[in-house]
Amino acid sequence: MLGIKRLSLINNHLSSQFPPIPYDESLDNYRKRGEEINKEVLLRHIFGDSYERIITFRNHMKNDPIFNHHDEAEFSRSKKRERVVQQIASIYFKAIISYEYCKAGPLRKYELLYALCDYDIAVATRISIHLVLYIDAIETLGTSKHLEHIKRAYSLLDYGCFGMTELGHGSNVAKLETTATYDHSTREFIINSPTATSAKWWIGGLGKTSNKSVLFARLIVEGVDKGINAFIIPIRDNQTHDSLPGVIIGDCGKKIGLDGIDNGFMLFKNYRVPYDSLLDKFSSITNDGKFKSIISVKEKRLGTMMVGLIGGRVAVVSAAEQHMKIGLTAALRFSAVRKQFSSDEIENPILDYPLQRYKLIPHLASLFAIRSILLWCNKHLPIVQQKINENPEAIEVSEYHAILSACKGVASWYSSSCLQQCREACGGLGYSYYATLGRIIMNDNIGSTWEGDSGVLIQQTAKFIFKQVQRNFKGHAIDAPSLKCIKVDHEKLMQFKAKFENSEQLENENSLFELIEYRLNYILYQSLMKLQEATGNSKDMFEAWNKSQVFYLQELAKTYGEYIMMREFAKFVKELEEKCEKTGKVLRKFFVLFSVGLIQKYSASFQDSAINAHQAKVVRESVVRLCGELAEVSIKVIDAIAPPDSIHGSVLGVANGQIYAKLIEQVEKAEEVYDKPHWLPLLQKIKQIKKT
């Protein structure tokens, strides 16, 4: 430590115009506070079987100078995109990603994406569009004849994109306008963009990179619209990289974030592709030119196709967790170092203030809730993908889809709220690019609409719950394990009274689950009543359903997602306690804070009948107390899970706590920091105008 202090002082003295900054021990001192945890046990528990591979990827990025956030600060959009491709090339082949490697372990490519997302979601997304959306679509919707496309993609002989979203349609995939008309005389499909709004839009990797695309279009056979089907098509010449005749490709231009991703648009003019372009697992065309499908109803067929493309939504949940982790790394370490105000001459670390703790610590609890559900998603993803191949309408498939849809929405909303709080918690310094918070806020912002608008997607969760309740009304048992807690007896529900009188009784795991299950059933009943009311004054069920969204169906789906997160968080803690009692004890407090926080957040529905004023006060006091206790250990916890400094890139979150020295260092490295402006003549001209 003494050596580090000396190096810090020497470096500051030799390279800076600022007075020397003494070594700041604030973060070191905060690390000594609170309960002890085993950091390695916690990180291994978080990463599970992926631990060794993720750490290997982290070490590669840590030691490769091409992964450097501060170098990229002044990059143009084109230069940033070039750097992302260089970074992918740097790590991809070292990861030994191949068709055989991923078949042996379906989650292995996600491990690479997870590690890259710790650095920059733009890098992770640029390759995940290819590895997950493009390849998984071919695997899920194609047949054995498409295997060569998959192998070429894994070898990067082809680079693919995912051509679904159009300028005029995103969430409503059934209304996509691009057409693929079958010509039986040549056994070809003729692809056209009949309107301006049918242009494929926001397609990641399309603008400058991809030479192939999975394309979603309306299949027209003998003049009849057979609904949305998927095709794999070449779009650029593999040698010259020119767009192919009949294909128009352009760049979507500047975005508010993610400049490393080349989002593009694409139009078609009588573009012909051979019959084998059709990904024909569910639908095909016979030798005599007739359309056939193993799923006769086109709406149900589309739903089955979409359920199969779940990997991207898992990636959004993962990105939310990682963005929160990086944001909290910056905000918590900064808050332990930053000192403001006091009742005497020695200023206090702002992390000692209850308001700062309440601002940050609940988000750290939510981070572990998201990690817990992500572990569940990762564990069940290969199982569900196999089940889709066997029976795409199985209850395991629909339940997984419902849980993932809810948790994708909840995680993206949690992340957005967390990052804004982290930015505010760091005050004005949080607005610096070098704090990295602005970068990840803008990169994270897409999560609420990526892979489906969260508010629209979560409606599928509400429909799943309603279908299960309808089974119950018809005398059948609910067959979704996650909904066994559902009770449709309203009178019994409204008789429920919470039994806790103090924080100890409240924070009992059984008591917490009892309360959240009550909340789920309460919102379910309210939603049923609202939908019934809306049905009576609406022209059809579509209108009634939409009238029931605000305060009802949306809340039902979110509550279900949070309930599942809570369930998996409890399992996560129990398993950790078996590995390390002291670490598990600390994480149990985070579980309690997350759960009590849900009760506090939804206090209005509880105070309808389940909780009295005294109990509501107990809930609030428990939240504040837990925030205080967990703030003491928060630096140890964030140390355990944070990626290395060179990967997260925040000067406010540096592990050695020298935030001011690091910020000054980066600012002084910036372009033209001490130079006169090149527009100095303009200033001088203005002064001359003033004189005259």
Collect all residues with Cβ–Cβ distance below 8 Å to 36 and sequence separation of at least 6.
582, 636
> 204 labelled as ligand-binding?
yes
User: What is the mean pLDDT of the segment spanning 611-616?
Assistant: 93
- pTM for this prediction: 0.92
Phi and psi at 264, nearest 5°, equal -135, 170
CA separation (Å) from 188 to 14, 184, 206, 274?
70, 7, 24, 5
Q: Tens digit of pLDDT for each residue in 256-297?
A: 889 999 999 999 999 999 999 999 999 999 999 999 998 888
CA distance 202 to 244: 20
Between residues 94 and 395, the one the model is more confident about? 395
Give mean pLDDT, residues 385-407: 89
451 is annotated as an active-site residue = yes
What pLDDT is attached to residue 9?
47
327 labeled binding residue: no
Backbone angles phi, psi at 684, to 5 degrees: -65, -35
Q: Which domains does the chain have, with CATH numbers?
A: 160-307 (2.40.110.10), 310-670 (1.20.140.10)
Mean model confidence pLDDT for the chain: 92
Can you give the pLDDT at residue 522?
92
What local confidence, expressed as pLDDT, does residue 11 receive? 53
- DSSP per residue, 95-114: TT--HHHHHH-TTHHHHHHH
Phi, psi of 233 (to 5 degrees): -135, 145
Percent of the chain with pLDDT over 70: 97
Mean of pLDDT values over 572-584: 97
Q: Is the pLDDT of residue 26 over 90?
A: yes
Query: Pick from 498, 344, 435, 361: which is nearest to 69 by CA?
Result: 435
pLDDT in tens, 656-688: 999 999 999 999 988 888 999 999 999 999 988
Q: What burial letters (b/e) apply to 210-237, b meaning 16+ CB within 10 Å?
A: bbbbbbbbbbbbeeeebbbbbbbbbbbe
pLDDT in tens, 50-94: 999 999 999 999 999 999 998 898 899 999 999 999 999 999 988
- At 542 the three-state DSSP class reads helix
Q: What is the pLDDT of residues 141-156, one digit of tens each?
A: 999 999 999 999 999 9
| CA 465 to chain centroid | 23
pLDDT at residue 103 is higher than 90: no
Least Cα distance to 50 among 117, 111, 9 occurs for 111
Farthest CA pair distance, the chain: 91
Q: Please give the average per-residue pLDDT across 451-474, as a whole number.
A: 89
pLDDT value at position 628? 97
Is the pLDDT assigned to residue 446 strictly greater than 70? yes
Tokens of 378: 């990762």
**308 has pLDDT over 70:** no
**Pick the residue with more confidence: 26 or 305?**
26
Out of 40-54, 300-314, 549-563, which region has the weakest mean confidence (pLDDT)?
300-314
| Alpha-carbon span 194 to 282, nearest angstrom | 26
Q: Which amino acid is it at 279? A: L
Q: Say how far apart CA 472 and CA 463 lie, in whole Å.
A: 14
Q: Which of 139, 451, 507, 568 is catalytic?
A: 451
